[in-house]
Structure 1
Amino acid sequence: MVRRVPFFHVDAFTSDLFAGNPAVVVPLEAWMPEARMRQMAAEHNVSETAFLVPEGPGQWHLRWFTPTTEVAICGHATLAAAFVLATEQGEPGPFRFRTLSGMLGVAREGERFVLDFPANPPRRLGGSQPGLAAALGAVPREVWKARDWICVFDSPETVRALFPDHGRIAALAGAETPAGPARVIATARGDDGMHDIVSRYFAAVVGIPEDPVTGAAHLQLLPLWAEKLGRNTLVCHQASVRGGTLWCTLAGDRVQIGGHAVLYARGEALLSDQA
């Protein structure tokens, strides 16, 4: 017997197709086996595939899988999930998601969806951290640490020009934090008059050499840059090939991340109960 499972392919943190960060959203009535979800995520082969099951009015249980592993928090696939619920299933919102990182909220503000996530302030590290410089191919001015390594550079041009050794990044990031394998963020102050900060995100250790636009990175970047710039509201640009914009506000111990999304495709997975 073949089971038809609908899914939606969404580009998040962008208003344009083929930009931002792609996510696949799979709304379910009840959970399927974890092994099957991992297979689907590997088959979709985007940064994250989000699976969600309703738990009551306005609330869902939400899980995220990269092509190789389940992750504890993901911004762009949460935005994509809220977008699908609002635009494809007629849910009015606001949306509450029970996740491995606790309850996360998303509110709709016009065409923008605003995530309410916990902040993750970094601490500054001393020393030159030569392993990071060798992996990135450039020497950062400062190195900070929250869940991930944060390398601060003097200019956005340096961040954009990085050509990292992803094997070295995966090796140095390996068993680094209680929350799981660390990743590496490269960042600098913006200089184009439109964006306050620029960043890139490298996560080969979880099967994503470079993530196009990363909400979870900004939970760490906002506390750092809000203090540096003296402002709690920042417009952020992730300078991957696809690129994306995030409107972020530090509100106490929370970070609110606003962004757009656009639907690329609707489809059905044809799953055999025997497979």
Structure 2
Amino acid sequence: MKCYFVDAFAEKVFEGNPAAVCILEKWPSDNLMQLIAKENNLSETAFAVKTGEKYHLRWFTPGGEIDLCGHATLATAFVLANFYTKEAKQWIFQTLSGDLTVLKKGELFEMDFPSRMPAKIDISNNIINALGVTPVVAYLARDLMLVLEDENNVLQATPSFTALKEIEDGVGVILTAKSNQFDFVSRAFFPKLNVNEDPVCGSAHCQLIPYWSEKLNKTEMVARHLSERGGTLYCKLDGERVRISGYAVLYSVAELQLGADY
């Protein structure tokens, strides 16, 4: 089985968020896909099988399958564009979050994702204790989103991953703040999925974009992820959808040696 390793939301290797991508003719077992994701030990490994004019796309973290992933979707489109469908400029993926379209615009890949405006919730002591700083306000959609006072608080945050894992609300925990250089910044943590910090989380922007669009009174924004690797996302609110664009670069191509048992 061929596996491509791609840095998404990156303009050069060792930036952005690495994802593994396998383009297949038929589905392996769920157990095998999960074992591969654990072995790769990246935040996401994507598996895609062509079905008619579309591709059925699934994402696995080391801790299990997930319903939506931005950077691995971008990485999958990048692999298709460079190795499988070189003349194509659009790909439609069938996923647990419905059909997702990716357009190639020059060297940028633009993803069309659902908008998930988060709902305001109370800030619990568990949140404060896990984070080590008191958020200005807390919101919840798929993930728990915590707005901090400024971008330095986001950059310097040292949350307890064990404590974050015990918070009942949300799959992941997103920290965000308004930025001086960009429109907004963020970091994302998914200890419940055995990913302590996601280097760049595209799906988190499904709720970040509508929130900051309302706060900043603008529909087009540039966001920066403040993980150690870092990554830039070009964002647009489009009604009930969000458009998230980024660059990607190839790091490696591997042949998985699975043996006769698989």
Partner of 2:125 in structure 1? 130
Using the TM superposition, give the Cα deviation of residue 93 of structure 1 relative to its aligned residue in structure 2, in angstroms.
3.1
SS at match of 2:42: coil
Q: So what's the TM-score if we normalise by structure 2?
A: 0.97
Partner of 2:98 in structure 1? 102
Is the contact made by 2:89 and 2:105 (CA closer than 8 Å) also made in structure 1? no
Distance change in 2, residues 1:273/1:93 (3 Å): farther
Structure 1: runs of 5+ lacking an equivalent = none
Is the contact made by 2:63 and 2:192 (CA closer than 8 Å) also made in structure 1? no
2:8 aligned with 1:9: no
Amino acid at match of 1:245: T
2:185 aligned with 1:198: yes
Amino acid at match of 1:75: G
Distance 1:97 1:159 in 2: 33
SS at match of 1:200: strand
2:166 aligned with 1:171: yes
Using the TM superposition, give the Cα deviation of residue 90 of structure 1 relative to its aligned residue in structure 2, in angstroms.
3.2
1:234 to 221, 224, 238: 221
Is the contact made by 2:89 and 2:103 (CA closer than 8 Å) also made in structure 1? yes
2:175 to 186, 194, 197: 186
How far does the alpha carbon of each residue in 1:107-138 deviate from its partner, in whole angstroms, 9 at most, with x for none? 00000000000000011124x42211111110
Partner of 1:44 in structure 2? 40
| Aligned Cα root-mean-square deviation (Å) | 1.0
Amino acid at match of 2:156: A
Q: How many residues align?
A: 261
Q: So what's the TM-score if we normalise by structure 1?
A: 0.93
1:250 to 237, 242, 252: 237
SS at match of 1:272: coil
Is the contact made by 1:129 and 1:143 (CA closer than 8 Å) also made in structure 2? no
Partner of 2:16 in structure 1? 20
Using the TM superposition, give the Cα deviation of residue 32 of structure 1 relative to its aligned residue in structure 2, in angstroms.
0.7
Choose 140-149 or 70-79, whichever is displaced more. 140-149
Q: Percent same amino acid among aligned pairs?
A: 43
How far does the alpha carbon of each residue in 1:217-252 deviate from its partner, in whole angstroms, 9 at most, with x for none? 000011111000000111000100000000000000
Distance 1:247 1:208 in 2: 24
Structure 2: runs of 5+ lacking an equivalent = none
